Amino acid sequence: MMNNEEKILKMLESMQQGQNMIAKQVNELSGEFKDIRQSQVRMENELTEKVRALFDAREVQNDVNERIMSTLDRIEAKVDVLQLETAHLRRVK
């Protein structure tokens, strides 16, 4: 039969083992958290680069669209002039 002192020592030993297990788990979680944080930072950086690239591509596309619209306006004006000239020539005949 164990005396009180032995029981207390056994309980303290059990508590110490529990604390050691908790400390180990906390260290593991800290490492996992650090890995997750690094992944998050990497993904944020990659996303920022991709958003910038999309924005730049959109700006380039807007410039191209503006040039196309300007060219189309000039072509439409020329077609209008040609239609007027054609109508005039038909009347003259």
User: How confident is the model over 44-80, as pLDDT tens digits?
Assistant: 999 999 999 999 999 999 999 999 999 999 999 999 9
Query: How does residue 1 score in pLDDT terms, banded at 50, 70 and 90?
Result: confident
Q: How is residue 77 written in tokens?
A: 């004006």
pLDDT of residue 83: 96
pLDDT of residue 60: 98
pLDDT of residue 92: 83
Question: Is residue 26 pLDDT above 90, yes or no?
Answer: yes
Question: Which DSSP helix (H) or strand (E) runs through 5?
Answer: helix 4-92
Query: How does residue 39 score in pLDDT terms, banded at 50, 70 and 90?
Result: very high
The pTM of this model reads: 0.55
